A = this chain, B = another copy of it.
């Protein structure tokens, strides 16, 4: 696998949600490389949310991160999902070596990050600082546009990317699995949880993406992870949230 398996990788992310941290967890799990999910260890052992807050407060030297997920490797403290994955992927054997493939992988990952933000803003269209319950009319309106316009546009794009990809169309970048395939799996999983009705409508038009999701889910290490207690259940404090009232077509004229 990798020559770096003896490196100590510390992931700092909210301990009760998949969220954006899950894109990082999946990379470690697929690679079979050990990592410490710091905030999920007990607070009296240096874990808990307090461990994240110390990094955000800037107790370490250098640039403090703006938000989790955060990866600490030695003295290097890295934030932003796509940035973390770009650092990790060559070390975990999860991206081809050539620059064109890496540029393409990063491009897809950033487009997935944009889509993840749209998933978040569907339940928080006004402000992250407010409860969902305080922005429900706006959420209803935004989610309607998400499930009828944005989500089919993004997923259709990724499905075409697979179609135009290498021989066999099995993976998004190059001939083998890369980190963006893992992130694509997570994206499909999240939207299936949050918007099952919308996804049922959309999935017939994105067969390659559905097949990719299934192909990733069947990988031995991913399957073992998904069946383990390390995989947190989706919930309504998370990035992807299931509110049935949002999983609908927009009202006429909305």
Which of A80, A142, A150 lies at the interface centre, i.e. has the most chain B CB atoms within 10 A of its CB?
Answer: A80
Q: A47 contacts the other chain (Cβ, under 8 Å)?
A: no
Contact of A107 among B80, B138, B142 (CB under 8 A): B80
On whether the beta carbons of A141 and B138 are closer than 8 Å, the reply is: yes
Q: Which of B106, B117, B160, B161 contacts A80 (CB 8 A)?
A: B106
- Per-residue interface assignment for chain A, residues 150 to 179, with 1 indicating a CB less than 8 Å from any chain B CB and 0 otherwise: 100010010011001100000000000000
Decide: B145 and A111 in contact? CB cutoff 8 A. Answer: no
Contacts of A126 in B (CB 8 A): 125, 138, 141-142, 145
Cβ contacts under 8 Å, A149 to chain B:
127, 129
With CB as the reference atom, state the residue of chain B lying closest to A162: B63
Specify which chain B residues have a CB less than 8 angstroms from the CB of A130 in the assembled complex: 145
In the assembly, what is the distance between CA of A157 and CA of B86, in Å? 23
Q: From known contacts A107-B83, A110-B83, infer whether A58 and B129 are also in contact, taking CB-CB under 8 Å.
A: no
A121 within 8 A of B: yes
CB neighbours (8 Å) of A100 from chain B are 76
Closest residue of B by beta carbon distance from A141: B126
A64 interfacial by beta-carbon distance below 8 Å: yes
Chain B CB count within 10 A is highest, among A86, A87, A100, A127, for: A127
Q: For A243, what are the chain B residues with a Cβ–Cβ distance below 8 Å?
A: none
Contact of A103 among B87, B117, B154, B160 (CB under 8 A): B87
Residues of A near any B CB (own CB < 8 A): 58, 62-66, 76, 78-80, 82-83, 86-87, 100, 103-104, 106-108, 110-111, 114, 117, 121, 125-130, 135, 138, 141-142, 145, 149-150, 154, 157, 160-161, 164-165
| A-B complex: 10 closest residue pairs judged by Cβ atoms | A127-B145, A80-B110, A66-B111, A83-B106, A126-B141, A138-B138, A83-B107, A80-B107, A126-B142, A79-B107
